[in-house]
Structure 1
């Protein structure tokens, strides 16, 4: 069997679960397709396929289904081509790349024009492939893609439409419903405006709503109906047009309707369109954030690099740097590409990779990673990876893969609507047919009344409001408690979580080293020694120096004046204080300098067991003090973990930190499982392994290195004090940084989902009970036929009930405050 290829495609026109189903069926119909999950939230399809399926056949299938894959074009500058054979080879390589639809190469201009499916491949990947074949290639910046599509423009358009629709609907609602709620207002309207003028005003306003902002429902819904695949747009179009046309007939030709049934329901048509436009606007705003994590990752890498060429320093775009060239990294700059240090010493902040706050010493032979931040020393390094092979690019791909995976829980309302819409239409048509066949005179009028009543009363306003209103109120209250839900799906997914996994640094701990232990040998003065050490560290650039200085100041110690401070990267430092030689550093440093060991060394082991970093100070060749620095556990961590344990959750730690330190913290906090010393890809794989065992995992982290794990987890929870990338990759963000927010997130999830189930139960019950009444089942017994006016009233009442129930979520209290 041929090896499977995988493509990620961005699709157009996806609006609900039925669209997803049709797109998936279209892809699966292509011979050779293995899997093709479509993600409504990200509007992407991830297709695994083998021959005879290819990029063109997949694109054609999606085009025919009405969900075309987005196309993009890039212009590549291709060098070193010398003949037609070179052109042919480059073209064949480009066309053979999964995702490429067409490629044209021009020998004279040395350019390639490539058309590809957006999201399936990048210009950088195409350039790297051709460069590797011996034709150095650079994508033109003005033609290359820049990451996920930004939906901000779409959200702005929907916002304008929703606000315009609301402005036009409000007068209609006030004129028509105001009189029902406050009879004197009805008399005022009749006396000053008149019924005919009132109806004409409502007609004009509603017409503007339906054929202005609401036109999109008809533009999408009617064709869907014509193709025999009705969806939400179709039902909105039918419901709104039914109310509108019925009102139009009642207003212009009332004699065509049975006596007493000629009423206008313009407000129902306008309100339906307005409410759903508001919902669409909110949805577009949420979707607009899905690509920000990847854009933030991409922006970490510098655009330019300083390259050493024959002794000269040349600034060049990163895309033009090739493997093996030597780059110069000045103090404070970001490392442009993965490389190996050839000259210089410095401390590099690698928190984006390791998640640890302590910069790492780099000397000749050390590896540096693109996107990390150089400290105060200058470095020269030989490039080891470019383009898609860099660590940063791999992290980007992991985030994309995790975000593009098909969620096991789909939006409940979309699934219901996929069945509900055609059933309602069928019931309405059946109602009309039965009345026309068996109804008394005037059968046509009664059939129209019953059919329109079914469509109006079954319009899914309450069903559509059941989920979003609960989510709005629940997440709004959650925000007040420091819990930000970026994805509504997280509210549902949290319900089935079995394991809550945490990063260590900055999540369970403060993320900032502090002086936790200071012990002196017999006969030594503690304050004097600490003043000497603080004075030396004040002239050090080591990240732990700040912890010692802060600890000394907290104890009221003034740093002593020191001289001749010399630092040895990775070992320690030496200085002269009042004529005495002071050494500060590791146990290995002391042994190298010939300092005799004392019982202080034995006293260090228990501190290391508690997760502290230990080093020593010696004065004139004699061991004098032991210094312990650690990243302290957050004050609320233990209580939050106890609360999660009480809810039956298993707790795990997945960290890039030292295994001994991680084990010490885990023992202190009573965690169930620990995985330490892992890089970002291994964090993701650890979570994937848990999921493979049937466990549903929530991951809590704060660093760039946590982004892939946050995206892979069933629910990603980011600490708000962490990096923007971690926050953008997460489903839930704790804005305060307190882990009590994790407990609140689970509680709000449970309460909100319970509220949604209550709302949906009412919405279903309402339809099950009243649709038959609207169809006329009571007419043969009691002569009762529900008019469209009462149907509109019942529909409004059901929506009010759903909203009122959802508003109860405003009174949720913090869980830990409720417990004794």
Structure 2
């Protein structure tokens, strides 16, 4: 059982971690805690009283816990759409936590999944907050990003979730606003930095032409005036972030930039206004103090350039979401009383009949009711070849119709469509945090104070042992150490790769729920796979119905009647067979689907059962040797056979064939080649499973398995230290998909299976597993390359900046060159991450 609780008293990610750890320490429960909204989703083996939960939390700190009531007040932050109770979420169960469009998050994930209501800078690291993309299509009016069916003429709040309505007209994206603001500041910085730098460089010339115009003391004033716009406007954000990082003691890259350039600027001011306090070694031949206005402005401009490039890169990494959003049509042709009427996509309701004309995008998910056509589904499956569709076939929102017109019925609208779910999943996954990032976070935590200490030590060592002017050398090298060691690249290494990788996967029909799944996919060494619908087409057909009685039609009527209420592929095969034979069915009473065994019910007063041998044992039906021998022959040919029992007597069987997908054999062979153990576990009988395994080249398989058998096998393998992936498509696969380290759902399967999985293959093809594995390998390799870039610059740069090469080679690193190297490390990480967009998986 799963319950949702509201937590009060949490103020930071540390609190969230403590609360989650405390709750998970209670026997029999598993808790997931979020900071914003402040909630806990707790799964219990048996009910645990709220008082017991509160008692444990009280010992951990001043935290309170109470059941979530689901009563919404738009004025309260905790009752936003992100904090709806589980009951309130039933209408939109695909909406991941903390994914509210129109909100903001830190790209460094400093406070986990915390989101913010307004744009600005992260209170921990100072980075620009990124906007969560709006997942609605454009329209003149206001709508709720979570509930697109809500449309109003003016701004306000959503009556369902209380969230602020957003304009549906196309507007300039938040990423572009940030980019344009930084670009303007960059232009200002360059305009004032270039003359400051030029004055400083010309001043070093043997025959200084500037002295012919006016004394150098006056040129110092010119440098100061030109420096002020760079320090107090263009680069002011860095000092604000540095100060915030110091008072909160969340030291980061801006701490080093702020200290380094701040010291250089204050030193230069003191040199101008109070030159008499400085010793001779700090002064030039003209008696003026060496000033560092040019170092201050150049460093701030270079860092600003790095921020500009990052803003541009973040915009590019969200390109997959933007491209997907472009696929969503804005209008549809609604059939009303036999007449066509163009309506907004938001006005479509379930059950509406829609006409799709040649070349049009399909507006919502549904089925063709009249006509046929070829449809380009490449945006969903990644496959360029159009698919033939006829009456009764499913069609998906955003796919493109061919050259014929057809009529369809709307079955899923708004946030329920596959396209909306893909966009939401990609959006959430691209902001998730990979476990490998913990390494970078841990290093960054201790890195800044160590660099500050190295900088201080550099100053004193040079002042004590360096050549004259020793203090000047010490000051310059100390500033260079602070600047080159900025850990910006270290923080970007993982998030950039994850964002690009998840987007790349979506474009290839691989939907990844979070970065953890992406990382674990690379480590998996065992794949458990279901047979029906995963390895096979999942569209079985009845080959024949064998009856011990003379009336075969009556037997078909019984089993078709029984299967009319079942959603299992085998049931559909039986009912389709009855239609082909023009056999009608009747009402069924006491229908029950027995998981992993079959179906039972009462037809025309008789107890009918259709399923495997275990079901026959359950209902007490005896199987004769004659019929058992016939069934064995069929099973050895790889066919699925279901026993038919009436009034506890086996009276026949159904032979069903389910073709193996053309790519299954190729995919399994490639996975085995990569060293992955592939095990097929199926509820089918031993003979059928053996025949399929032999055709696929599988050495490991288990037949006659119930859902709990799959679950237990995964637990056993995990206890041996294996990283287990599970691929399945049915409701009976959901527990195993949830237990596996990586659950892989076929997109052609049930919603329950997809919800339980961490990776969804839209096309439902096992080659998607190979692609997902290759993608995860590429992303993890890219992350490691990024971490190498970040570390190598610091490992080599800090000693050089401190002057380690000076005693032997006479090489020193000026603060300006250090700033170039620091910015280049960030650029290297960004460019390397963007390479993932072009890889072939």
- What's the offset of the Cα at 1:9? 9.7
1:124-203 correspondence runs (5 A) = 150=98, 152=100, 153=103, 154-157=114-117, 161=121, 162=128, 163=175, 166-176=179-189, 199-203=227-231
Q: 1:234 to 1:706 in 2, by over 3 A?
A: farther
- What's the offset of the Cα at 1:649? 0.9
Q: What SS does the corresponding residue of 2:450 show, helix, strand or coil? A: helix
Where does residue 776 of structure 2 map in the other structure? 749
Q: What SS does the corresponding residue of 1:741 show, helix, strand or coil? A: helix
Where does residue 543 of structure 2 map in the other structure? 517
- What's the offset of the Cα at 1:545? 5.7
Where does residue 594 of structure 2 map in the other structure? none
Within 2, Cα distance between the matches of 1:98 and 1:672?
52
Where does residue 640 of structure 2 map in the other structure? 612
Within 1, Cα distance between the matches of 2:612 and 2:774?
48
Within 1, Cα distance between the matches of 2:764 and 2:805?
59
- What's the offset of the Cα at 1:480? 2.2
Task: Tell me if structure 2 keeps the 8 A contact 1:458–1:767.
Answer: yes
Q: What SS does the corresponding residue of 2:252 show, helix, strand or coil? A: helix
Task: Tell me if structure 2 keeps the 8 A contact 1:533–1:584.
Answer: no
Deviations 1:378-410 (A, max 9, x none): xxxxxxxxxxxxxxxxxxxxxxxxxxxx99866
User: Per chain length, whose mean CA-contact separation is higher, i.e. which structure has more relative contact order (CA < 8 Å, sep 6+)?
Assistant: 1
Q: 1:638 to 1:516 in 2, by over 3 A?
A: farther
Q: Does 1:238 align with 2:255?
A: yes
Task: Tell me if structure 2 keeps the 8 A contact 1:640–1:743.
Answer: yes
1:10-159 correspondence runs (5 A) = 48=25, 94=51, 98-99=55-56, 101=58, 117-118=64-65, 150=98, 152=100, 153=103, 154-157=114-117
Within 1, Cα distance between the matches of 2:718 and 2:609?
47
1:597-746 correspondence runs (5 A) = 602-608=629-635, 610=638, 612-614=640-642, 627-629=654-656, 632-654=659-681, 665-666=692-693, 668-674=695-701, 683-703=710-730, 706=733, 709-723=736-750, 726-746=753-773
Q: What SS does the corresponding residue of 2:813 show, helix, strand or coil? A: coil
Q: 1:721 to 1:143 in 2, by over 3 A?
A: closer
Where does residue 293 of structure 2 map in the other structure? 262
- What's the offset of the Cα at 1:651? 1.4
Where does residue 248 of structure 2 map in the other structure? 223
Q: 1:142 to 1:697 in 2, by over 3 A?
A: closer
Deviations 1:7-36 (A, max 9, x none): 999995766xxx7xxx9xxxxxxxxxxxxx
Q: 1:277 to 1:432 in 2, by over 3 A?
A: farther
Q: What SS does the corresponding residue of 1:459 show, helix, strand or coil? A: coil
Q: What SS does the corresponding residue of 1:753 show, helix, strand or coil? A: helix
Within 2, Cα distance between the matches of 1:201 and 1:572?
82
Task: Tell me if structure 2 keeps the 8 A contact 1:10–1:45.
Answer: no
Deviations 1:34-86 (A, max 9, x none): xxxx979x975666489xxxxxxxxxxxxxxxx9997999xxxxxxxxxxxxx
Q: Does 1:550 align with 2:581?
A: no
Where does residue 439 of structure 1 map in the other structure? 466
- What's the offset of the Cα at 1:450? 1.6
Within 2, Cα distance between the matches of 1:679 and 1:532?
27
Q: Does 1:457 align with 2:484?
A: yes
Q: What SS does the corresponding residue of 1:792 show, helix, strand or coil? A: helix
Within 1, Cα distance between the matches of 2:743 and 2:195?
50
The TM-score normalised by the length of structure 1 is 0.55
CA-atom RMSD, angstroms? 5.9
Task: Tell me if structure 1 keeps the 8 A contact 2:317–2:500.
Answer: no
Within 2, Cα distance between the matches of 1:547 and 1:72?
43
Task: Tell me if structure 2 keeps the 8 A contact 1:717–1:733.
Answer: yes
- What's the offset of the Cα at 1:655? 5.7
Task: Tell me if structure 1 keeps the 8 A contact 2:227–2:293.
Answer: no
Where does residue 529 of structure 2 map in the other structure? 502
Where does residue 758 of structure 1 map in the other structure? 785
Task: Tell me if structure 1 keeps the 8 A contact 2:268–2:290.
Answer: no
Q: 1:501 to 1:274 in 2, by over 3 A?
A: farther
Q: 1:115 to 1:253 in 2, by over 3 A?
A: closer
Task: Tell me if structure 2 keeps the 8 A contact 1:531–1:558.
Answer: no
Where does residue 86 of structure 1 map in the other structure? none
- What's the offset of the Cα at 1:641? 1.2
1:461-476 correspondence runs (5 A) = 461-476=488-503
Where does residue 131 of structure 2 map in the other structure? none
Q: What SS does the corresponding residue of 1:517 show, helix, strand or coil? A: strand
- What's the offset of the Cα at 1:671? 3.9
Q: What SS does the corresponding residue of 2:58 show, helix, strand or coil? A: strand
Task: Tell me if structure 1 keeps the 8 A contact 2:642–2:653.
Answer: yes
Number of equivalences: 567
Deviations 1:502-544 (A, max 9, x none): 24454334445x324126799x9xxx98899589948972535
Deviations 1:177-210 (A, max 9, x none): 6999999x99xxxxxxx97776444334346534
- What's the offset of the Cα at 1:627? 3.5
Q: What SS does the corresponding residue of 1:203 show, helix, strand or coil? A: helix
Q: 1:734 to 1:574 in 2, by over 3 A?
A: closer
Q: 1:178 to 1:449 in 2, by over 3 A?
A: same
Where does residue 380 of structure 1 map in the other structure? none
Deviations 1:657-690 (A, max 9, x none): 7777666655554444445666766655432321
Task: Tell me if structure 1 keeps the 8 A contact 2:7–2:39.
Answer: no
Q: 1:71 to 1:494 in 2, by over 3 A?
A: closer
Q: 1:278 to 1:427 in 2, by over 3 A?
A: farther
Q: 1:100 to 1:754 in 2, by over 3 A?
A: closer
- What's the offset of the Cα at 1:278? 10
The TM-score normalised by the length of structure 2 is 0.54
Q: 1:585 to 1:170 in 2, by over 3 A?
A: closer
Within 2, Cα distance between the matches of 1:182 and 1:505?
72
1:309-320 correspondence runs (5 A) = none
Within 1, Cα distance between the matches of 2:692 and 2:6?
40
Where does residue 53 of structure 1 map in the other structure? none
Task: Tell me if structure 2 keeps the 8 A contact 1:492–1:753.
Answer: yes
Where does residue 349 of structure 1 map in the other structure? none
Q: 1:146 to 1:180 in 2, by over 3 A?
A: same
Q: Greater CA deviation, 274-283 or 750-759? A: 274-283
